[in-house]
Amino acid sequence: MTPLILGVAAALSASAAVQGRADFEFRRELAQGRRFHLSNIIGDVQVTGGNGRTVEVTAVKRAGRYGEVEDVTVEMVELDDGVAICVRYPGQGTGSRRSREGRPSKNPCSWDGWNNRSERNDTEVTFTVRVPAGLRLHIGTVSGSVHGEHLVGDLELTSVSGDVSLSDGTGPAIALETVSGDVDLREVRSAEVTGHTVSGEVLFQGPVQDKGSYEFYTTSGNIRLTLPEQPNATLSAATFSGRFSSDLPTTANESRRRRHRHAATWGTGTARLEIESLSGNIAISLARR
């Protein structure tokens, strides 16, 4: 992997942020099945599916309270199976991006750590991304939201502090995850869907496919599923201190202390549907036609 660090001069960066011009631009054709990884740290990411085979990335930097804008750079990393776009802040170590066993790291933007923790910099980097169909896609940020629409492929959207949403997504596997924020999946079609958050709500609208796997978890928040019709699925749902409601028949199991559990087998029961909220309500409804 050969890193190519693309920075800009201080005056140009400040001017670009004010005028909304791009501080970083990237275009690359990627064949179906290739990997595209984008890892932001402070700032939102908007990713949209498009025609053709070209990945297009635009980033704009905005000054925060601390540090210099020009000290924050965007790095393109060549991967054996694709390409990665990484944001780097001053003081971050430049690790080998390989695991201890010598294999390529799952996260090509991972670093060895911070060389100088006194270098505070809260510059925000906002990404606008356009991707072709059929990629293995990972889009993530630490402090910010990730929003995707009209995406086709193996999809993983993540944040630590921010909302994560996908509207109109199709692929073999779709995963949305955050720690503090809502997870919103609308018009999603996949045989493997996960929506996880710790503090926030989870919403899913879409079909449950035969033999599929669907997992929706939150610690503090509600979970709402809207299905187009009764699926062929086996349900396991639990909430500690919330209420449960369903348009479809279920069986309550109150045998465990203070935990409300519900189960069901609909149709052939070939799909697996697991839902759990510690302190929130769970609602399963059929779409009104």
- Among residues 121, 189, 201, the alpha carbon closest in space to that of 155 is found at 189
Q: Same domain for 70 and 180?
A: no
Locus of tokens 């356009």: 130
My answer on whether 79 and 164 are in the same domain is no
The helix or strand, by DSSP H or E, that contains position 220, with its residue range, turns out to be: none
Tens-binned pLDDT, residue by residue, of the chain (289 aa): 444 434 333 333 444 444 458 999 999 999 999 999 999 999 999 999 999 999 999 999 999 999 999 999 999 999 999 999 999 998 765 544 454 444 555 788 876 554 445 578 999 999 999 999 999 999 999 999 999 999 999 999 999 999 999 999 999 999 999 999 999 999 999 999 999 999 999 999 999 999 999 999 999 999 999 999 999 999 999 999 899 999 999 999 866 555 789 999 999 999 999 999 999 999 999 998 6
Q: Which of 79, 105, 133 is the last residue of a domain?
A: 133
Q: Domain for residue 37, yes or no?
A: yes
Residues 14 and 95 in one domain: yes
DSSP 287: P
Query: 140 in a domain, yes or no?
Result: no
**pTM of the predicted protein model:** 0.87
Domain boundary among the residues 133, 160, 193 is at: 133
pLDDT at 254: 67
20 Cα distance to chain centroid: 25
Q: Look at residue 96 in the predicted model and tell me its pLDDT.
A: 46
**272 shares a domain with 235:** yes
Model pLDDT, residue 148: 98
Domain boundary among 103, 133, 163: 133
Domain range enclosing 112: 1-133
Q: What is the distance between the alpha carbons of residues 49 and 57, in angstroms, rounded to a whole number?
A: 12
Looking at the structure of the chain, the number of domains it has is 2
Phi-psi map region of 67: left, alpha, beta (phi>0 left; psi -120 to 50 alpha): left
Residue 111 sits in the same domain as residue 246: no
The reply to whether 150 and 286 lie within a common domain is: yes
- Number of Cβ within a 10 Å radius of residue 87: 24
Query: Quick one: tokens of 241?
Result: 């201190």
The rounded distance, in Å, linking the Cα atoms of 52 and 73 is 28
By DSSP bridging, strand 3-6 and strand 73-79 are: antiparallel
